[in-house]
Structure 1
Amino acid sequence: MDRQSRYKDFSAFLAAHFPFKVQKLSVNAGFTCPNRDGTKGYGGCTYCNNQTFNPEYCRTEKTIAVQLEEGKQFFSRKYPQMKYLAYFQAYTNTYAGLEQLVQMYEEALAVPDVVGLVIGTRPDCMPEELLDYLSELNERTFLLVEYGIESTNDVILQRINRGHTFACTQETVRRTAERGIRTGGHVIVGLPGEDGKQALLEQTKALSLLPLTTLKLHQLQLIKGTRMAYEYERNPSDFHLYSVDEYIDVVIDYVEHLRPDLVLERFISQSPKELLLAPDWGLKNHEFTARLQKRMCERDAWQGKYYI
Structure 2
Amino acid sequence: MSTPILYNDFPTFLRKYFSYKVQKISLNAGFTCPNRDGTKGWGGCTYCNNQTFNPDYCRTEKSITTQLQEGKYFFAHKYPEMKYLAYFQAYTNTYAELEGLKRKYEEALKVDGVVGLVIGTRPDCMPEGLLHYLEELNKHAFLMVEYGIESTCDKTLQRINRGHTYAETVEAVERTAACGILTGGHIILGLPGETHETMVEQAGILSRLPLSTLKIHQLQLIRGTRMAHEYAEVPDDFHLFTEVDEYIDLVIDYIEHLRPDMVVERFVSQSPKELLIAPDWGLKNYEFVARLQKRMKERDAYQGKKYKDSEKRIIFADDKFTT
Partner of 1:174: 174
Q: 1:5 deviation in Å?
A: 4.2
Q: Is 2:219 the partner of 1:216?
A: no
Gaps of 5+ in 1: none
CA contact (8 A) 1:5 1:293 kept: no
Partner of 2:112: 112
Question: Which AA in structure 2 matches 1:101?
Answer: L
CA distance in 2, matches of 1:201, 1:4: 21
Which whole-Å deviations, capped at 9, do the CAs of 1:209-250 have from their partners, x for residues lacking one?
000000000000000000000000000011001121100000
- TM-score, normalised to structure 2, is 0.94
Structure 1 stretches of at least 4 aligned residues deviating more than 3 Å after TM superposition: 2-5
Question: Which AA in structure 2 matches 1:204?
Answer: A
CA distance in 2, matches of 1:34, 1:98: 16
Q: Is 2:232 the partner of 1:237?
A: no
Gaps of 5+ in 2: 309-323
CA distance in 2, matches of 1:101, 1:146: 16
Q: 1:96 deviation in Å?
A: 0.3
CA distance in 1, matches of 2:4, 2:303: 11
- TM-score, normalised to structure 1, is 0.98
**Structure 1 residues 98-107 or 283-292, which shifts more?**
283-292
Question: Which AA in structure 2 matches 1:189?
Answer: L
How many correspondences in the alignment? Answer: 306
Q: Is 2:8 the partner of 1:8?
A: yes
- Structure-to-structure mapping, 1:272-283, within 5 angstroms: 272-283=272-283
CA distance in 2, matches of 1:88, 1:5: 31
CA distance in 2, matches of 1:290, 1:77: 26
Mark the CA change 1:252 to 1:4 in structure 2 (over 3 Å): closer, same or farther: same
- Structure-to-structure mapping, 1:180-195, within 5 angstroms: 180-194=180-194
CA distance in 2, matches of 1:173, 1:216: 15
Q: 1:201 deviation in Å?
A: 2.1
CA distance in 2, matches of 1:109, 1:283: 35
CA distance in 2, matches of 1:68, 1:172: 28
Which whole-Å deviations, capped at 9, do the CAs of 1:238-277 have from their partners, x for residues lacking one?
1001121100000000000000000000000000011100
Question: Which AA in structure 1 matches 2:128?
Answer: E
Partner of 1:206: 205
CA contact (8 A) 2:4 2:302 kept: no
Which whole-Å deviations, capped at 9, do the CAs of 1:174-193 have from their partners, x for residues lacking one?
00000000000000001000
The CA RMSD measured in Å over matched residues stands at 0.9
Partner of 1:84: 84
